[in-house]
């Protein structure tokens, strides 16, 4: 069975600084996707970034980038130039590409605080 | 474009009552997912549909829970009878294809007294 582990329950960063959130996963699948979702206090789940496992190039979305290490099964999220609006719970998620099921497996989340 | 729409946004009910949660997926998406989020169990998939057909309902906790998708633009999740342990935030999500990115609705916060 697939598992996703986020070992940092809480993180804090100063405004304008950079922070990295960690995520590891375990799977025997060869083709899959990885996601980072943001959940602010409103509870809305917002897609931050997505990575296809077959791509070697790390995904980037403006101030958000990932460090995808397939062999190590690691998928960290880097937030550059942190802003107050980045404060939220961040969830790492794994999803199969094809196959019998495409449920997302979520980690337990990392609560990010941004200090002014 | 409108995102995934869920109603109601908040629901307070008494134990034993029937609860119906509603979801309208993004137009054109053919996969729909129901998730539940609690402090104890985190985010967990309850059931998902492809082309209106239930594919995996292994996450549905028990017979008190049922879900339907009568057409491509509407789905319901029903709890009957409701219990206090059902209190959670229920999310609906949709995706264009089975393995594509899932987009979430705002959630329904359910409180069963």
State the average pLDDT over residues B93-98: 84
Answer for the pair B100, B33: CB distance below 8 angstroms, yes or no. Answer: no
Instruction: Report the alpha-carbon distance of residue B112 to residue A8 in Å, rounded.
Output: 31
pLDDT, tens only, B9-48: 999 999 999 999 999 999 999 999 999 999 888 999 999 9
Using an 8 Å CB-CB cutoff, list chain A residues near B55: 101
pLDDT, tens only, B101-111: 899 999 999 99
Distance from CA of B98 to the nearest CA of A (A): 6
- Are residues B107 and A44, on separate chains, in Cβ contact within 8 Å? yes
Instruction: Report the alpha-carbon distance of residue A46 to residue A37 in Å, rounded.
Output: 5
Instruction: Report the alpha-carbon distance of residue A112 to residue A87 in Å, rounded.
Output: 5
Instruction: Report the alpha-carbon distance of residue B72 to residue B107 in Å, rounded.
Output: 19
* Residue B1 binned pLDDT confidence (cut-offs 50, 70, 90): low
Using an 8 Å CB-CB cutoff, list chain A residues near B93: 45
Distance from CA of B18 to the nearest CA of A (A): 24
How confident is the prediction along chain A (116 residues), in pLDDT tens digits per residue?
889 999 999 999 999 999 999 999 999 888 899 999 999 998 999 999 999 998 889 999 999 999 999 999 999 999 999 999 999 999 999 988 766 566 789 999 999 999 99
Pairing of strands A74-79, A19-21: antiparallel
How confident is the model at residue B94, as a pLDDT?
Answer: 94
């Amino acid at each position: 069975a697939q598992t996703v582990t986020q070992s940092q329950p809480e993180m804090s960063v100063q405004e304008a600084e950079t922070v990295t959130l960690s995520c590891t996963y375990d799977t025997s699948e060869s083709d899959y996707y990885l996601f980072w979702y943001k959940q602010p206090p409103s509870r809305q789940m917002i897609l931050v970034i997505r990575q296809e496992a077959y791509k070697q190039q790390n995904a980037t979305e403006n101030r958000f980038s990932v460090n995808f290490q397939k062999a190590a099964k690691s998928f960290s999220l880097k937030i550059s130039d942190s802003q107050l609006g980045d404060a939220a719970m961040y969830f790492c998620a794994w999803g199969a590409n094809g196959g019998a099921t495409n449920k997302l497996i979520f980690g337990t989340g990392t609560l990010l605080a941004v200090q002014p | 474009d409108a995102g995934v729409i869920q109603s109601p946004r908040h629901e307070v009910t008494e134990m034993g009552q029937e609860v119906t949660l509603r979801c309208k997926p993004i137009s054109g998406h053919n996969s729909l997912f129901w998730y539940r989020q609690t402090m104890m169990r985190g985010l967990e998939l309850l059931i998902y549909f492809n082309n209106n057909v239930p594919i995996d309902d292994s996450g549905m906790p028990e017979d008190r829970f049922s879900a339907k998708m009568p057409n491509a633009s509407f789905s319901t999740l029903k709890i009957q009878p409701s219990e206090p342990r059902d209190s959670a935030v229920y999310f609906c999500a949709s995706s264009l294809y089975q393995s594509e990115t899932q987009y979430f609705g705002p959630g329904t916060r359910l409180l069963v007294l």
